[in-house]
């Protein structure tokens, strides 16, 4: 199966069974995924004379939509059914949840057709829903020192997030939707969504300025 070039961009606002990526409105972009023609060809090869309309239904269709929607940080409302289905898959053990979600994504016929697609769905199953600012601030919270220590949030993304967000078939970096870190861990730094970065950085810098000023005053009075 031939993939689009790295510079290709596809707009997705309405997903249909016979034309999964043909959309006329909206802002969502998909980088280096599959064209409609390639998808239909792949489906045709998999099911013989069955039409794409017949193949792309039920969980098969939702799985293909989930692959597309979870490959971008910009997701239109049309993604809701597939994302609800995907994130609705939960097991008692989180490791089993990851496996079950991967199995769901693999229902899409193109998910296993190339090494790149296999690595994409694997990265999605491990990272999707775990790499937003709120999740990172919770997961990366640690305690430094002993009784006189302090709580901090690491500025290093977990490996599963780095693999997911930097995958060549996702667009988090190019679309400007990747969570960003504000400040430094030692001074109360934290993660924010990309759209909030400028405001959060200004607020952080103002807080640091006030803290430093207060320390200077305390030091002066102490002397």
Helix (H) or strand (E) holding 141: strand 141-144
Mean pLDDT, residues 85-106: 97
Which tokens is 199 given? 């405001």
Q: Which of 61-65, 148-152, 155-159, 202-206 has the lowest mean pLDDT?
A: 148-152
The residue whose two tokens read 């999740």 is 135
Output the CA–CA distances (angstroms, integers) from residue 62 to 41, 66, 79, 134, 145, in the order listed: 19, 6, 9, 26, 47
Output the CA–CA distances (angstroms, integers) from residue 210 to 20, 158, 188, in the order listed: 53, 32, 14
DSSP-based three-state secondary structure for 84: helix
Three-class DSSP labels, 1-53: CCCCCCCCEEECCCCCCCCCCCCCCCCCEEECCCCHHHHHHHHHHHHCCCCHH
Band (pLDDT 50/70/90 cuts) for residue 142 is very high
Q: pTM for the complete prediction? A: 0.73
Most confident of 40-49, 149-158, 178-187: 178-187
Question: Could you tell me how many residues make up the chain?
Answer: 223
pLDDT digits (tens, 9 = 90+) for 186-222: 999 999 999 999 999 999 999 999 999 988 887 766 5
pLDDT digits (tens, 9 = 90+) for 11-23: 333 333 333 443 3
What spatial distance separates the first Cα and last Cα of the chain, rounded to whole Å? 74
pLDDT, position 221: 61
d(CA 38, CA 221): 73
């Amino acid at each position: 199966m031939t993939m689009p070039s790295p510079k290709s961009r596809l707009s997705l606002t309405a997903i249909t069974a016979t034309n999964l990526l043909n959309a006329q409105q909206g802002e969502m972009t998909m980088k280096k995924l599959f064209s409609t023609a390639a998808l239909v060809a792949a489906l045709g090869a998999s099911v013989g004379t069955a039409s794409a309309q017949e193949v792309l239904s039920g969980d098969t269709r939702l799985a293909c939509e989930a692959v597309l929607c979870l490959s971008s940080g910009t997701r239109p409302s049309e993604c809701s059914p597939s994302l609800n289905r995907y994130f609705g898959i939960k097991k008692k053990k989180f490791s089993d949840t990851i496996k079950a979600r991967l199995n769901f994504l693999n229902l899409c016929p193109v998910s296993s057709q190339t090494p790149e697609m296999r690595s994409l769905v694997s990265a999605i199953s491990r990272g999707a829903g775990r790499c937003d600012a709120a999740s990172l601030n919770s997961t990366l919270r640690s305690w430094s020192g002993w009784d006189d220590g302090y709580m901090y949030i690491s500025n290093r993304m977990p490996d599963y997030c780095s693999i997911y967000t930097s995958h060549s078939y996702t667009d988090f970096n190019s679309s400007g939707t990747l969570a960003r870190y504000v400040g430094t861990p030692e001074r109360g730094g934290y993660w924010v969504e990309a759209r909030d970065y400028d405001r959060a950085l200004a607020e952080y810098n103002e807080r640091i300025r006030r803290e430093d000023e207060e320390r200077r005053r305390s030091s002066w009075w102490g002397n």
